[in-house]
Structure 1
Amino acid sequence: MASKKYVSFLSLSFLLASAASHAQLGGSYDVQDSSVIPSKRLPQHTEFMANNYPYPAKPRNQWEIGLQAGAFTISGDVRNRTPIGGVALHVRKALGYVFSLRGQLGFGTTKGLNFQPSTQWSKNPAWSKTGYAPGTPVFYNYKTNIYDLSLQGVVTLSNIRFHKSKSSFNVYAFAGLGGMIYNTKIDAKKGDGTTYATDFQNIYNKYAATADGFGYKNRKDIKKDLKDALDGKYETEAETDASQPKLFKKPFRFIANVGAGVQFKINKKFSFAVEDKLTIPKTDLLDGQQWQENGVATSVPGSTGAPAQTRDFDTYNFLSVGLNMAIGNKAVEPLWWLNPLDYAYNEVNKPRHMKLPKPVLDDADGDGVTDQFDQEPNTPAGAPVDTHGVSRDTDGDGVPDYKDKELNTPTQCQPVDADGIGKCPPPACCDSLMEIIKKGGIKGECGIGDLPSVTFKPKSITLSNDAKALLASAAQKIKDNPNCKIAVIGYCSSSKSEQQLSWDRVNAVISYLVDKEGINADRFIFKYGETGGDCNTVDLRDGTNEEGPTTVPAPHPNLRRGR
């Protein structure tokens, strides 16, 4: 009967466990969330968030309370009858991802009955003082109630997973220490106060004469006869050890317990558990019997041989199912449900907090264009290049700027020599005129030709390196044509700021040619705020036949750039 109940109990447990194992699990907590960090660990959290400490602070995690119910049995000198049952209430708190502490209060009750008779019960006061004649066969029985309280250390490793974020179940083992009190009674008398001596003797006589005696085959029949004979009142106090301390007028013993269980997650708040716990108290009287008979159990009636005291101790077992609930605000789940590797794996897969070093890309020639995009990987140091890493050739004459001594050679003067200088043949009709001009002949004539335009970055008045190179080339042409005046023209005047910006840019070009290239300031005509041109461009052109001032006061000096 007991074995069938155990099978049914386990079947139900695994059925519920299978259903719970399909529960959906939530994600892990956010390690950057300071609301779940206790105040004493906030300094570590601050250091972690500043990337000064690699480990996140341990979060505040919830408590667990649980209620268990199941089969309660005693292993002793008297065979355990069908378990009546037990219940337990526990509180559990994680100290880490592997270890937690659990306080458990339990109650269990069970019954026992031997189907073999005993005759050497003389040293057991529960039987010897109830009126049984020496040598009369009795059938040991008991009913025991046990209350215990213990503190257990619980270890779990199944939450540490390397190939999966989480699991829907948790396997754990535990061991603990505590105390228990118990009360054991036997059914030795009928309701009218008389003993079962006659009933026991009749049952003994009925089966002792059979071929099987008190063997296995007759056990069921014997138990049936005993059940019919006993009234189940359990009125007689069982033997106790007078040396044992008392608590609440009941024997008290220290206990040690061990066990294991499987916990199945239903959701973030509830879980279901199947557990088995074995408890070892230092007593042999949980079943009310500590004496071992000399000889076989079917001793001849009338025998009064001296029984020996057993040296083993009784134990009791609690096989249970339970429902657990996590409680606590501003806290994560109990840590035995969280994978401590979760943060590291997620950070490696998709960094959110990790401080990544700046990428270093190879640039062998140091031109500012990385090798993977550089179409000219061996550009000389300092040579200006375009976005593809190719040496810049402003005038397209085939000579790169870093070699070109004439950056803006007109197309009609090309091809050029190795220094990038072209030869511009004058028109046949004007050979003599050009000679006169070169010698300072006809006043007012200028043959300087095209001059470059200087481009500025938006809102900037600073000359770029490219612009300075263009002006250096233009300066040489201006020096070679001393009869020429040069108009320097800036554009746009729709607002005061545009007018001042145009003035500043023209002033920057003239100042460079005067200060850096040594050209007389009187040779320039200062024009700004003109229309018909690009606002970010300053043009240089032959101004020999134009009129205009050499210098012009700033129109809006309070708006000058760089003040």
Structure 2
Amino acid sequence: MVRKKFKLLTALLCLTASGAFAQLGASYDVKDSSLISKKNLPQHNEFLNNAYPYPAKPRNQWELGVKVGWPAVAGDVRYQAMTGGFGVSARKALGYVFSIRGEYDWMRSRGLNFSPSIPTSTNSAWAAYPAGAAVFYNYRTTIQELSVQGVVTLNNIRFHKAKTGFNVYGFGGIAGMIYDTKVDALDGNGNPYTSLFQNVINKYGGTGGGFTYANRKDIRKDLKAGMDKSYETHAETDPAQPKLFGQSFKPALVLGAGVQFKLSKKMNLQLEDKYTIVKSDLIDGQQWQASTIPQGASRPAGVMTRDFDSYNFLSVGLNFNLGGKSVEPLWWLNPLDYAYNEINAPRHMKLPKPVLDDADGDGVTDQFDLEPNTPAGAPVDSHGVSKDTDGDGVPDYKDKELITPTQCQPVDADGVGKCPEPDCCKELRNNMMAKPAGCGIGELPSVSFGAKSVSLSKDAKAVLATVAQKMKDNANCKVAVVGYGESSKAAQQLSWDRVNAVINYLVEKEGINADRLIFKYGEGGGDASTVDLRDGSNEEGPNTVPAPHPNLRKK
């Protein structure tokens, strides 16, 4: 019988399990004030203002459930016939793990022993039978139970997944139950089944087969064929037991476990087994169980045992979530969901401003500071390097002559230049305005580069140091920096990079004023691996030019 029940439940689960994991909903918005009860609003407001780290518990829906199932009584009558029952319940979460449930169950169970017994003289249900006559105990009991249960959810707190499509839980509680048990002791004419019972005893007890488990189906088949299953006789009851609605009443303890499979946000399928412990030995109508008739004996041995009956209710049901402006029942939500989402993509956290190290306090973080030991108060550029406004090689924080004219350079250690006498300066200005054909700087060397290279070699830097000294000695001269390569975009970009490298070196390393240099690249008629330097006093042109094809720039 148990196998049949589980086969049916397995079939039901197969029909619904395919959709149980595909309909998981998203978590609720923890900032939504409409989901918070009036009682929890103060905490919610503190949370929104970052005055309290924990969000308030949201309103959550009630769960109403209906179920059908198969009750089974564990008592003196061993065999259980296929019977049924139903139940209704209401459940409310008190937290993410614990909830409380009220439940009403109506159950009907039947039983029929396949071995005979001798009733006791106190059992009034079998009073119509001769003293010492063997009978086959049977019963039909109707149980009604009202219980209050505490339910503990076992798997909604998950560390590696937001939600789950099923819910495993255990529960326990107290109950009040009433039961009405009857026995089929008489046939339709009001006569006992004495002849039927004796014929079965003779057939199976006297032929060598015996009342064994192997013969149980045949024995019950013969008994059912001769009995009318009217259950007309009230079973034995305890006179001291209280009555409710005319039926025996007993307090009880309920225990059980179950699993729910989520079908949608509003509905889930439930499989559950509830076990009820009752301090009564008369649920199956038989208090004292005589031993069965041994094989070959005409009467039972007369040994009797007594224990209390209990019953379980294996059921399958549907639960529905009810409630507006509420989240799902909390046992479906993972309380870690908000914390993990907030860590992954902060929406509410009050994040402090990032503090980056700046050892010299110049306003440029150490990660980008090319001069990490700049003295306090020294002005620096965007790379943390001390500014040198006049380009005389002396940083501004040491320069006693912040703007030294180019013609007055080089300067001493304090940044002070040595300017010519005023007449000389005047003559020089006049000569510059007249744009003389030459400046007397003479021939200048060329700078060579390796194949496709834009880096200055040691020899090239030495050549540029010589050029820089000549320019310092001839302060009225300009120099044209000329690169070759007009055949393609790549050649033009390479020419630009090499000219740019030469000019940057003269300005940044040798202290030459950028205004004295003329930027020329991509010229024809020259060696593409060479950058020429020549007297540019009679030429016009910028000292810096945008890169023509920056995407082709040589790294």
TM-score normalised according to structure 1 size? 0.72
CA distance 1:79–1:295, change in 2 (3 Å): closer
Letter of the 2:94 counterpart: L
Q: Secondary structure of the residue that 1:203 maps to in structure 2? A: helix
Matched, 1:407 2:402: yes
Match in the other structure for 1:87: 86
State, as a whole percentage, how many aligned pairs show the same letter.
Answer: 63
- Give the CA deviation at 1:136: 2.1
Match of 1:383 among 375, 378, 383: 378
1 CA distance for matches of 2:71 and 2:107?
Answer: 6
Match in the other structure for 1:36: 35
Q: Deviations over 1:398-432 (max 9, x none)?
A: 22111222222222222222222223324657999
Matched, 1:135 2:150: no
Q: Secondary structure of the residue that 1:29 maps to in structure 2? A: coil
Match in the other structure for 2:336: 341
2 CA distance for matches of 1:74 and 1:187?
Answer: 17
Q: Secondary structure of the residue that 1:324 maps to in structure 2? A: strand
Q: Deviations over 1:278-335 (max 9, x none)?
A: 11111111110001226746795578x8774x43111111111111111111111111
Match in the other structure for 2:355: 360
Match in the other structure for 2:207: 210
Q: Report matched runs for 1:476-487 at 5 Å.
A: none
2 CA distance for matches of 1:265 and 1:3?
Answer: 26
Q: Report matched runs for 1:245-324 at 5 Å.
A: 245-293=242-290, 296=293, 308=304, 310-324=305-319
Letter of the 2:131 counterpart: P
Please list every run of at least 4 consecutive aligned residues from structure 1 whose deviation after the TM superposition is greater than 6 angstroms: 429-432
Matched, 1:52 2:51: yes
Q: Is the 8 A contact 1:99 1:155 kept in 2?
A: yes
Q: Is the 8 A contact 1:262 1:273 kept in 2?
A: yes
Letter of the 1:113 counterpart: L
Question: Which shifted more, 399-408 or 91-100?
Answer: 399-408
CA distance 1:199–1:311, change in 2 (3 Å): closer
Q: Report matched runs for 1:417-432 at 5 Å.
A: 417-426=412-421
Q: Secondary structure of the residue that 1:8 maps to in structure 2? A: helix
2 CA distance for matches of 1:315 and 1:61?
Answer: 35
Matched, 1:71 2:66: no
Q: Secondary structure of the residue that 2:168 maps to in structure 1? A: strand
Q: Secondary structure of the residue that 1:43 maps to in structure 2? A: helix
Q: Secondary structure of the residue that 2:18 maps to in structure 1? A: helix
2 CA distance for matches of 1:407 and 1:100?
Answer: 79
Matched, 1:19 2:18: yes
- Give the CA deviation at 1:135: 2.1
CA distance 1:193–1:299, change in 2 (3 Å): farther
Letter of the 2:370 counterpart: Q
- Give the CA deviation at 1:4: 4.1
Letter of the 2:396 counterpart: D
Match in the other structure for 1:110: 109
CA distance 1:412–1:113, change in 2 (3 Å): same
Letter of the 2:18 counterpart: A
Letter of the 2:144 counterpart: Y
Q: Report matched runs for 1:179-258 at 5 Å.
A: 179-258=176-255
Q: Deviations over 1:353-403 (max 9, x none)?
A: 112222111111111111111111111111111111111112222221112
Q: Is the 8 A contact 2:210 2:294 kept in 1?
A: no
Q: Is the 8 A contact 2:9 2:316 kept in 1?
A: no
Q: Is the 8 A contact 1:86 1:108 kept in 2?
A: yes
Q: Report matched runs for 1:118-157 at 5 Å.
A: 118-128=117-127, 131-157=128-154
Letter of the 1:46 counterpart: N
2 CA distance for matches of 1:11 and 1:407?
Answer: 91
Letter of the 2:229 counterpart: G
Question: Which shifted more, 223-232 or 287-296?
Answer: 287-296
Q: Is the 8 A contact 1:260 1:277 kept in 2?
A: yes
Letter of the 1:106 counterpart: D
TM-score normalised according to structure 2 size? 0.74
- Give the CA deviation at 1:122: 2.5
Letter of the 1:388 counterpart: H
Match in the other structure for 1:451: none
2 CA distance for matches of 1:418 and 1:176?
Answer: 93
1 CA distance for matches of 2:270 and 2:294?
Answer: 41
Match in the other structure for 2:323: 328
- Give the CA deviation at 1:261: 0.6
For structure 2, the 5+ residue unaligned runs are 428-555
Q: Is the 8 A contact 1:119 1:301 kept in 2?
A: no
Match in the other structure for 2:444: none
Letter of the 1:262 counterpart: V
- Give the CA deviation at 1:3: 3.8
CA distance 1:67–1:426, change in 2 (3 Å): same
CA distance 1:431–1:18, change in 2 (3 Å): closer
Q: Report matched runs for 1:432-471 at 5 Å.
A: none
1 CA distance for matches of 2:411 and 2:210?
Answer: 130
CA distance 1:15–1:297, change in 2 (3 Å): farther
Q: Is the 8 A contact 1:74 1:80 kept in 2?
A: no
Q: Secondary structure of the residue that 1:218 maps to in structure 2? A: helix
2 CA distance for matches of 1:294 and 1:66?
Answer: 43
Letter of the 2:69 counterpart: G
- Give the CA deviation at 1:123: 2.1
Q: Secondary structure of the residue that 1:112 maps to in structure 2? A: strand
- Give the CA deviation at 1:133: 1.4
Q: Is the 8 A contact 1:253 1:281 kept in 2?
A: yes
Q: Is the 8 A contact 1:116 1:297 kept in 2?
A: no
2 CA distance for matches of 1:379 and 1:201?
Answer: 115
CA distance 1:431–1:125, change in 2 (3 Å): closer
CA distance 1:422–1:194, change in 2 (3 Å): same
Q: Secondary structure of the residue that 2:269 maps to in structure 1? A: strand
Matched, 1:371 2:370: no
- Give the CA deviation at 1:114: 0.8
CA distance 1:33–1:149, change in 2 (3 Å): same
CA distance 1:83–1:391, change in 2 (3 Å): same
Letter of the 1:71 counterpart: W
Q: Secondary structure of the residue that 1:316 maps to in structure 2? A: strand
Q: Report matched runs for 1:508-547 at 5 Å.
A: none
| Count of matched residue positions in the alignment of Structure 1 and Structure 2 | 427
2 CA distance for matches of 1:315 and 1:210?
Answer: 36
Q: Deviations over 1:415-454 (max 9, x none)?
A: 222222223324657999xxxxxxxxxxxxxxxxxxxxxx
1 CA distance for matches of 2:165 and 2:123?
Answer: 52
1 CA distance for matches of 2:140 and 2:150?
Answer: 31
Letter of the 1:264 counterpart: F
Letter of the 1:417 counterpart: D
- Give the CA deviation at 1:148: 0.4
Letter of the 1:100 counterpart: S
Letter of the 1:323 counterpart: L
Q: Deviations over 1:508-550 (max 9, x none)?
A: xxxxxxxxxxxxxxxxxxxxxxxxxxxxxxxxxxxxxxxxxxx
